[in-house]
Every structure is written in structure tokens, then in C-alpha cells.
């Protein structure tokens, strides 16, 4: 087995990185403060908080928690971060540590309250209102089981944790809430191959990234690898079986590190703790085990005493006054999605971390409406889906994947060094609760195609332009790999899982990247061209494809950039 995507060391330890790492006392205090601050002034408290029930009976009417009432904010902060995903969370922590008063603004809720079933998040099998951001129905990426539309269900509209944005030929999945995508993602924390990193970001010093910023990001996010004990359990039968098939077809596989705590998973499997990854929890949030940003960076940021968090509040627009001060128009919503307050706030330094789609939209709106007309024409360009391509394979009856499957992938087929078929295909779970004779792969391919965004003034939003043929390179590369895989293992492609009844899904992405590229729309540290003290800090900086799952790179780049900015711009 190769370990090409494995970090240089297993970062299970909480060894201090630069400044701080691990769950420190300050982070603990920050987490308490985060909750206390969010609850302060709450006008309604859900029944679930007063009287949490360990398990709800069929006779109980399910009630999601009422989101915390947002805290009051001052009219001015030295710095503001928009969003609370990886880029913003890193930035807020480092600003807070430097003693700079900072406001974090997040349109979603703080996910720390129990609903009437005694849980914060719902699982994938019994999804409810908590699953989706104001939708009437869930939109699971795998919508059918063996041809039957058994997965999705009608739900009440609610500020849930997973959102989808639909464009022509492409649907983008996103996390909503304090922690952004870290709340819903599969936790895979992968360092890109250095040669590919140097190809896509040739002007970002790779030595610095690989020696300093990736290790810091790994340490802060508690990246670890599956233990042999856990991997040998029933919950990874699906992965062991696919790995054996991959080897039989002559492919290498590699370890896929994760921020899910595999010691916790071992305790789940032993029946000693409340299960999460082994109980079908992932895309709608994990109740335990996963190091999402609300467990590390964000509480540490608030723990500095300099960072304030405002939830349920969307940044609608940005302007700049003659004195260089930025003004943000804000809209605060209630649980029904109604705007209950419009207010504005000002700052000297503005960091945009609203994610690839959110940041690009805010900047395009500002440029196209004339609010920030000097922003670069590059904004909106260079969008990519990280080559995402899902494949479903039908196994012969003697190749069992198991009814029990952990939600966290831990191994991948690594064919990246084959120029004819550059594919890194993670062995994904398909936790249906029954034997499905099906293997699923989330392939990341080297698709050079790029889309672009335009601002629609009538709808006041952006449109993504991604043509029907732009996923073809992903198809071609994945087909080469899985044709060979199937042939060696008596497998074939499985239809009936995805929308459109193809054995693959090229119409959605979990990994939108680009739109505000480093070195094009910004300088090499995320400073937006045309304006002082205005920065992009998230996935929109990355040019469309990073060859592996992106959040570790977003985190490491944000660490690198804010380090420079704090020294030179403040
Ligand atoms: P992101 O995490 O998207 O955070 C942006 C935040 O800004 C969100 O909380 C938004 O609600 C908020 N926001 C947006 N607009 C506004 C506004 N106007 N006002 C206020 N707030 C706003 O940004 N990546 C991996 O590396 N490994 C994985 O295993 C993995 N699995 C995934 C699985 C799923 C289902 C999904 C959806 C994504 C997955 N990803 C994974 C992708 C990863 O989560 C994503 O690249 C990062 O979260 C992006 O980080 P950003 O800092 O760019």
C-alpha cells in the first residue's frame, strides 16, 4: 500500500503548532463563552433544552431547537470576517490573538442545542428539518437505493445545516452554520501531492507550505489516521473489500487522514459511547467525534476575548467610505427565514470567508453595482469543481460491503501519477443499513475545465456557468480507472443510485473552488486588487482543483496569509 497522500507524520498528537493548538483551556473557555454569548438575550428557549429526551417515541412530535438570538454588536470593529468556515476561523483566531477586536458574521446558526429527540443533528437515514437550509425536501447526493427513491424525504423549512445551490449542469453542496463546511463534510484532511501544488500555485512557496503551514493546519484540526483495530471492524468491510479489488486491478491505495477521532470511533464500535460516524451521521452533521471548527479554531478565537460572533446574520452588501472604512449591510433572520432586523456595521479591515460561492457573490455584487468598482475583472473567473465525480459499482454476490458502514472514508485509490487517468478515488461509504452489493467512490480527477460566474442584477445573485461537456475530462479519466477495476473483479457499473439513472454523478460538487484566484484577483496573500485592507481568505482563492479534498489547503493557506498580513498591514 502506498502512502503518497499521507502526511509526513500521524498527527494524532496535540503537539503545539505555531502559537497554539489542541483543545487548550482557553479554547474550552472560548467554547463556553461562545454558547453563553449566543444564548444571551435569547427570547425563546426550546423545550428540548429544558427537558432533553434521550430518545423520542413515535408519539412525540419532533421539534427542532430554536436558534440562539444573535448577540448585540457594536457599530464598529477594527476587523470583520464574513462567514465562519475554514478561512474565516483561522483569520479570526490569529486576529484575536494579536489583540485586534474582530467580529465574525455567520448567516447560519450555532449548532449546540438539542432538539426534542435529544440530539443536535439528525442522521442521514431519518433526516428532518435540521438537515437542509430552508428546503421542503432533503437532497442527498445518492438519492435512490437500488433504483427506488427511498432516500429523500419531505421536511419542514428550517435553517438547517446543509445547503445546495443549483445552476445549469451543476449543483453545489455547502455547509451553513458556525463552522461552515466543517459541520457537514466527511472530515478527510489530505495534503495535496507537492508536484501538483507547485503546478497550480507556482508562486506560493511550497517549502513554507509543506514545512510549516500544512503541519500547523493538521495539528490545529487534530488530523489523525484510522487505527488498524477500527479498520478491521465490520464498519470498514466496505473499504477493505474495495481496496482488495483495487489492488487486484493493479492500483495503489493510500491512507486518507481525517479529523474524526478514531479513538472515539473505537469506543463507538465497542458500544462504550454514543455513536456518530457509525450511526449514519455525516452530511447533516455529526453529534460526536468530528473536529469541526466549532471545536477548535472558533472557540479558541472567542477565548482570546477579542472576537465576537454574530449568528443568523447575512452580509448583504459592502461599500467603502472616503476614509477607507468599510460598511456592511446586514440582514438578520429568524427560524422561518424572515428578515427580522436590518443593520449596518463598519470596519477598517475586511476579510471575506463566505466560501467560494458566497465570497465571489459579495465581490461581484460590489463590483457590478458600482459599490467597489475598482475590483479586478478576474473576480468570477477560474471556478472549478475540484474534478469531483462519483461512481457506483455493482459487486458480485460474494463481495460483501456489509450492512454496517462508518460515515468517514479512510482509504483511496491513488492513480494520480498516471497521466492518462489522473484520479484520486476515495472509497466512500453507502450506509443504507442493508447489504447493497454496491461500492461508491468519490473521485477527484484532474479536470482542467473552468467555469465562470456572472452577476444577475434582476435577481441580485450570481449565476455559475458550467457547460454540459465540461465534466467530460473527469468522465474519461474515471472510466479508464473503473473499467480496469471492474474487469479485474467481475464488477460492473451500478445504475439506479443517482439522479438521471447514470452509474456516475458529474452534476454536483462538494468542493467548489476559485472565483477569486490567488495571484489574479488578489495578490499572493489574498489582498484584493483595487482596495486596501480588503482580503479573501477562503476556497475562492484556489484555482479550481487541488487534486485532493480542499479544506486542509484552505486552512494552511489562510494561516500563511494572515501571518503575513498581520505583520505588514496592521
Ligand atoms: P465554508 O466552509 O463554505 O464557509 C463559508 C461560511 O460562510 C458558511 O458558514 C456560510 O454559511 C457563510 N456565509 C456565506 N455567505 C455569507 C454571507 N453573505 N453572510 C454571512 N455568512 C455567509 O468556506 N472537504 C474536505 O477537504 N474533506 C472532506 O471530506 C469534505 N467533504 C465534504 C462533504 C460535503 C457534504 C460538503 C458540502 C463539503 C465537503 N468538503 C470536504 C468541502 C469543504 O467542506 C469546503 O471546501 C470548505 O468548508 C470550504 O471552506 P471555506 O472556508 O471556503
Q: Which residues of 534-564 are buried (b: 16+ CB within 10 A; e: fewer)?
A: bbbbbbbbbbbbbbbbbbbbbbbbbbbbbbe
| DSSP assignment letter at 120 | S
Q: 186 CB less than 6 Å from ligand 1?
A: yes
Q: 526 CB less than 6 Å from ligand 1?
A: no
Name, in order, each residue with C-beta under 8 angstroms of 413's C-beta and a sequence gap of 6 or more.
246, 251, 252, 253, 423, 424, 425, 427, 441, 481, 485
Question: How many Å lie between the centroid of ligand 1 and the Cα of residue 539?
Answer: 8
Taking only the tens of pLDDT, the chain with its 570 residues reads: 333 343 333 333 333 333 333 344 455 555 665 655 554 433 222 323 323 344 555 566 889 999 999 999 999 999 999 999 999 999 999 999 999 999 999 999 999 999 999 999 999 989 999 999 999 999 999 888 777 788 899 999 999 999 999 999 999 999 999 999 999 999 999 999 999 999 999 999 999 999 999 999 999 999 999 999 999 999 999 999 999 999 999 999 999 999 999 999 999 999 999 999 999 999 999 999 999 999 999 999 999 999 999 999 999 999 999 999 999 999 999 999 999 999 999 999 999 999 999 999 999 999 999 999 999 999 999 999 999 999 999 999 999 999 999 999 999 999 999 999 999 999 999 988 889 999 999 999 999 999 999 999 999 999 999 999 999 999 999 999 999 999 999 999 999 899 888 999 999 999 999 999 999 999 999 999 999 999 999 999 999 999 999 999 999 999 999 999 999 999
Question: How many Å lie between the centroid of ligand 1 and the Cα of residue 102?
Answer: 21
Q: Find out whether 65 and 50 touch, Cβ atoms under 8 Å.
A: no
Model pTM score = 0.93
Query: What does the CA dihedral 109, 12, 217, 259 come to, rounded to 10 degrees?
Result: -30
Task: Look at strands 411-414 and 252-255 and give their pairing.
Answer: antiparallel
Question: DSSP for 544-557?
Answer: S--SS-SHHHHHHH
Task: Record the cell numbers describing residue 29, joined without a space.
Answer: 473557555
Question: How many Å lie between the centroid of ligand 1 and the Cα of residue 108?
Answer: 12
Question: How many Å lie between the centroid of ligand 1 and the Cα of residue 545?
Answer: 15
Q: 108 CB less than 6 Å from ligand 1?
A: yes
Q: 384 CB less than 6 Å from ligand 1?
A: no
Q: 185 CB less than 6 Å from ligand 1?
A: yes
Of 405, 430, 408, the residue nearest 145 (C-alpha): 430
Q: Find out whether 53 and 118 touch, Cβ atoms under 8 Å.
A: yes
Mutation to probe ligand 1, out of 70, 85, 86, 121 (largest number of atoms < 8 A from CB): 85
- The ligand 1 atom at the shortest distance from the C-alpha of residue 174 is 37
Query: What is d(CA 528, CA 363) in angstroms, rounded to the nearest whole number?
Result: 10
Name, in order, each residue with C-beta under 8 angstroms of 184's C-beta and a sequence gap of 6 or more.
161, 162, 173, 175, 282, 283, 284, 285
| Burial group, residue 360, by CB count within 10 angstroms (0-12, 13-18, 19+) | buried
| Beta-ladder partners of 428 | 440
Q: Find out whether 506 and 477 touch, Cβ atoms under 8 Å.
A: no
Sign (positive/negative) of CA torsion 480, 188, 278, 151? negative
Q: Determine if residue 282 is left, alpha or beta; phi over 0 gives left, psi from -120 to 50 gives alpha, anything else beta.
A: alpha
Query: Distance from CA of residue 545 to its chain's centroid?
Result: 15
Query: Distance from CA of residue 53 to its chain's centroid?
Result: 30
Protein residue with its CA nearest to atom 14 in ligand 1:
354
Sign (positive/negative) of CA torsion 412, 416, 418, 422? positive
pLDDT of residue 500: 86
Protein residue with its CA nearest to atom 27 in ligand 1:
188
Question: How many Å lie between the centroid of ligand 1 and the Cα of residue 395?
Answer: 33
Q: 82 CB less than 6 Å from ligand 1?
A: yes
What separation in angstroms does the CA of 140 have from each of 89, 391, 397?
27, 15, 26
Task: Look at strands 423-428 and 411-414 and give their pairing.
Answer: antiparallel
Q: How many CB atoms lie within 10 A of CB 338?
A: 8
For 166, the 3-state DSSP assignment is strand
Rounded to 5 degrees, what are φ and ψ at 215?
-60, -35
For residue 128, give the H/E element and its range. none
Q: 85 CB less than 6 Å from ligand 1?
A: yes
Q: 5 CB less than 6 Å from ligand 1?
A: no
Maximum distance among all Cα pairs of the chain, rounded to whole angstroms: 71
Rounded to 5 degrees, what are φ and ψ at 9?
-145, 160
Question: How many Å lie between the centroid of ligand 1 and the Cα of residue 345?
Answer: 24
Three-class SS string for 202-227? CCCCHHHHHHHHHHHHHHHCCCECCC
pLDDT of residue 145: 77
Query: What is d(CA 328, CA 40) in angstroms, rounded to the nearest whole number?
Result: 23
Residues classed as catalytic:
426, 511
Q: 87 CB less than 6 Å from ligand 1?
A: yes
- The ligand 1 atom at the shortest distance from the C-alpha of residue 356 is 53
Q: Find out whether 170 and 160 touch, Cβ atoms under 8 Å.
A: no
Q: 176 CB less than 6 Å from ligand 1?
A: yes
Q: 84 CB less than 6 Å from ligand 1?
A: yes
Question: How many Å lie between the centroid of ligand 1 and the Cα of residue 542?
Answer: 13
pLDDT of residue 502: 92
- The ligand 1 atom at the shortest distance from the C-alpha of residue 187 is 29
Mutation to probe ligand 1, out of 177, 317, 337, 354 (largest number of atoms < 8 A from CB): 354
Q: 105 CB less than 6 Å from ligand 1?
A: yes
| DSSP assignment letter at 117 | T
What separation in angstroms does the CA of 378 have from each of 235, 245, 530, 534?
46, 44, 12, 16
What separation in angstroms does the CA of 17 have from each of 24, 35, 299, 300?
12, 26, 17, 14
pLDDT of residue 431: 85
Question: How many Å lie between the centroid of ligand 1 and the Cα of residue 99?
Answer: 27
N-term to C-term CA, the chain? 48
Query: What is d(CA 545, CA 513) in angstroms, rounded to the nearest whole number?
Result: 7
Rounded to 5 degrees, what are φ and ψ at 290?
-95, 135
Protein residue with its CA nearest to atom 40 in ligand 1:
185
Question: How many Å lie between the centroid of ligand 1 and the Cα of residue 356?
Answer: 8
- The ligand 1 atom at the shortest distance from the C-alpha of residue 190 is 26
Q: 551 CB less than 6 Å from ligand 1?
A: yes
Three-class SS string for 296-321? CHHHHHHHCCCEEEECCEEEEEEEEC
Rounded to 10°, the helix 237-248/472-489 angle is 90
- The ligand 1 atom at the shortest distance from the C-alpha of residue 177 is 9
Lateral strand order in the sheet of 162-167:
162-167, 170-175, 508-509
- The ligand 1 atom at the shortest distance from the C-alpha of residue 552 is 26
Query: What is d(CA 347, CA 324) in angstroms, rounded to the nearest whole number?
Result: 9
Amino acid at each position: 500500500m502506498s502512502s503518497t497522500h499521507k502526511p509526513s507524520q500521524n498527527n494524532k498528537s496535540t503537539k503545539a503548532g505555531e502559537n497554539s493548538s489542541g483543545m487548550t483551556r482557553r479554547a474550552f473557555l472560548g467554547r463556553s463563552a461562545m454558547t453563553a454569548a449566543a444564548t444571551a438575550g435569547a427570547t425563546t428557549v426550546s423545550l428540548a433544552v429544558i427537558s432533553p429526551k434521550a430518545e423520542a417515541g413515535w408519539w412525540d412530535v419532533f421539534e427542532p431547537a430554536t436558534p440562539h438570538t444573535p448577540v448585540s454588536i457594536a457599530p464598529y470593529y477594527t476587523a470583520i470576517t464574513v462567514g465562519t468556515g475554514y478561512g474565516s476561523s483561522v483569520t479570526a483566531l490569529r486576529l484575536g490573538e494579536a489583540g485586534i477586536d474582530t467580529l465574525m458574521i455567520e448567516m447560519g446558526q450555532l449548532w449546540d442545542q438539542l432538539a426534542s429527540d435529544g440530539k443536535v443533528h439528525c442522521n442521514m437515514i431519518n433526516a428532518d428539518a435540521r438537515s437542509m437550509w430552508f428546503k421542503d425536501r432533503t437532497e442527498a447526493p445518492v438519492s435512490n437505493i437500488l433504483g427506488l427513491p427511498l432516500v429523500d424525504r419531505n421536511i419542514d423549512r428550517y435553517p438547517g445545516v446543509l445547503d445546495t445551490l443549483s445552476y445549469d449542469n451543476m449543483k453545489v453542496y455547502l455547509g451553513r452554520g458556525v463552522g461552515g463546511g466543517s459541520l457537514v463534510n466527511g472530515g478527510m484532511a489530505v495534503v495535496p501531492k507537492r508536484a501538483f501544488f507547485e503546478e497550480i500555485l507556482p508562486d506560493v512557496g511550497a517549502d513554507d507550505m509543506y514545512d510549516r503551514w500544512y503541519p500547523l493546519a493538521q495539528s490545529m484540526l487534530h488530523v489523525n489516521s484510522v487505527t488498524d483495530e477500527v479498520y478491521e471492524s465490520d464498519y470498514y468491510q466496505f473499504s477493505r473489500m474495495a481496496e482488495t479489488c483495487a489492488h487486484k486491478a493493479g492500483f495503489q491505495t493510500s491512507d486518507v487522514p481525517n479529523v474524526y477521532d478514531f479513538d472515539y470511533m473505537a469506543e463507538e464500535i465497542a458500544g462504550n459511547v454514543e455513536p456518530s460516524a457509525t450511526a449514519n451521521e455525516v452530511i447533516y452533521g455529526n453529534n460526536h467525534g468530528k473536529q469541526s471548527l466549532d471545536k477548535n479554531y472558533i472557540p479558541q478565537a472567542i477565548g482570546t476575548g477579542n472576537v465576537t460572533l454574530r449568528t443568523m446574520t447575512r452580509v448583504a452588501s459592502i461599500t467603502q467610505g472616503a476614509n477607507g472604512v468599510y460598511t456592511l449591510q446586514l440582514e438578520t433572520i429568524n427560524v422561518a427565514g424572515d428578515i427580522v432586523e436590518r443593520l449596518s456595521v463598519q470596519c477598517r479591515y475586511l476579510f471575506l470567508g463566505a466560501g467560494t460561492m458566497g465570497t465571489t457573490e459579495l465581490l461581484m455584487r460590489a463590483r457590478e453595482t458600482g459599490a467597489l468598482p475598482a475590483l479586478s475583472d478576474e473576480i468570477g473567473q477560474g471556478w472549478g469543481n475540484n474534478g469531483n465525480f462519483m461512481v457506483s459499482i455493482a459487486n458480485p454476490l460474494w463481495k460483501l460491503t456489509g450492512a454496517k458502514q462508518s460515515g468517514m472514508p479512510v482509504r483511496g485509490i491513488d492513480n494520480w501519477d498516471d497521466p492518462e487517468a489522473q484520479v484520486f478515488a476515495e472509497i466512500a461509504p453507502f450506509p443504507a443499513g442493508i447489504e447493497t452489493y454496491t461500492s461508491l467512490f468519490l473521485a477527484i480527477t484532474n479536470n482542467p475545465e473552468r467555469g465562470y460566474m456572472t452577476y444577475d442584477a434582476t435577481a441580485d445573485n450570481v449565476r455559475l456557468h458550467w457547460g454540459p461537456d465540461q465534466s467530460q475530462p473527469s468522465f474519461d479519466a474515471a472510466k479508464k480507472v473503473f473499467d480496469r477495476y471492474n474487469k479485474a473483479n467481475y464488477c460492473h457499473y451500478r445504475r439506479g443510485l443517482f439522479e438521471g439513472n447514470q452509474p456516475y454523478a458529474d452534476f454536483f460538487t462538494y468542493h467548489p473552488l476559485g472565483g477569486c484566484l490567488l495571484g489574479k484577483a488578489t495578490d499572493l496573500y489574498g489582498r484584493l486588487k483595487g482596495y486596501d485592507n480588503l482580503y479573501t481568505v477562503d476556497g475562492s482563492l484556489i484555482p479550481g482543483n487541488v487534486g485532493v479534498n480542499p479544506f486542509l489547503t484552505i486552512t494552511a493557506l489562510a494561516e500563511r496569509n494572515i501571518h503575513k498580513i498581520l505583520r505588514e498591514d496592521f
